[in-house]
Amino acid sequence: MTRKRLIKNASVISEGRRIQADVLFDDTILAVGHNLPADKDTIVTDAQGLTLIPGLVDVHVHLREPGREAKETIATGTAAAAHGGFTTIFAMPNVLPFPSKPETAGPYRDLLEEKGLVRVLPYGTITLDEAGKTPTDYKAMKELGIRWFSDDGVGVASKEVMRQALEQARKADVLFACHTEDMAYRRPGASVHDSPAVTSRGWLGIPSACESAQLIRDLDLLKETGGHYHTCHVSAKESVEALRQAKAAGLDATGEVTAHHLLLEDRDVRGPMWKMNPPLRAHEDRMALIEGLESGALDFIASDHAPHTEEEKCQPMDKAPFGIVSLETAFPLLYTEFVASGRWSLEQLVNWMSTAPAGRFGLEGTGDIRPGYRADLVLIDEARPGVIDKRTFLSRGSNTPFDTWPTACTILETVSRGRTVWKDTGTEKKGS
């Protein structure tokens, strides 16, 4: 049984507001209040001057294991999550073998639970082996506790297959998280946004319609079928508008945006470390993403953590794989850009990185600091600046465009289910 712990005198983000409070917990939160008592067996930490937030929730992570362990493992990926303040992550299903059937999904679920330093929840695939031909048996997968499905990395090309999948998903009452990409819009070797800011350097462009056309198709199908639909890593202003209209029409549709699409745009691209799918788009797209998040057209933030080996990422732009690592950089970078600047409150950022994704994905007792909830907590120092240093990453991947970027806060400790899973030992406060 987890030993009781009392964190005293913290600035606590609880139920959408900032309060000065003590938090008592074991594996769940027992009390939030003032001058909470502690018996002789309770570990007491004085957090005066520090901030306590709920553990972050990331619904879009590539752990690579099994099948691609040279890029990442469950152990290294979840250590990176803990380092970045994430206590619940969802593992994308493009692993080998694909978790498309109970006989592969069951062992995969068990492997994630066995090796994960934080809580890891598995996606099943929308179509068998992400082949885009046959919908997965969602009811059978749900009996294993898998209620979320994605073919991330590829879009479902066939309109008829997608219609069948949506109809069956509605009957099974499960959630789709869709990577929308119509390959008819993408030429071989294309690697950046289709704009002169980057194509003038000789790189082939990917137009916004590659993402938005399939999203619009899916939302039209959703009108016919009903069900629960979520779209991954929105990058284009047209996609934001499509989601806004879908919500106005009463569809159960949500969308996520990544930290890198909120922070960077096409003119920032310097080479393969800036290559991601969907690509970094134009300034007006980035502004539409920020405004879309603030207005509710978009719902929350995810990382799309995508580790690769150094050798892979050092290839020419057209051959290097898409993706960057994000688990260890997302929160401090977004805090710096938006909270420290005064545009967002910390309460807003916590909602978009914890409470809202937990709510959308049906994680009861997760995403807030209140009695009865999981003791998933992150202690941060808002007064201590830092710097992104890829040499300190716990991920097996170091493919990031943010190396050496300054940050305005520091994560001091991450607690998952009452257990410390990461701690900055150089910043321990006396009496801890």
Secondary structure of residue 243 in the 3-state scheme: helix
Distance CA 251, CA 219 (A): 8
**DSSP-derived secondary structure for 156-170:** ---HHHHHHHHHHHH
Whether the CA torsion 198, 202, 203, 206 is positive or negative: it is: positive
| 403 noted as active-site residue | no
DSSP 154: S
Residue 80 has a CB neighbour count (10 Å cut-off) of 30
Whether the CA torsion 229, 232, 237, 239 is positive or negative: it is: negative
Q: Which of 304, 368, 376, 381 is catalytic?
A: 304
All residues at 6 or more sequence positions from 391 whose CB lies less than 8 Å from its CB, including other chains: 398
**DSSP-derived secondary structure for 362-414:** T-TT-SS-STTSB--EEEEETT--EE--GGG--SS----S-TT-EES-EEEEE
Question: In Å, how far are 88, 141, 218, 228 from 137, measured between CA atoms?
Answer: 25, 6, 20, 16
Angle subtended at Cα 104 by Cα 98 and Cα 106, rounded to the nearest 5 degrees? 125
Active site (catalytic) residues? 304
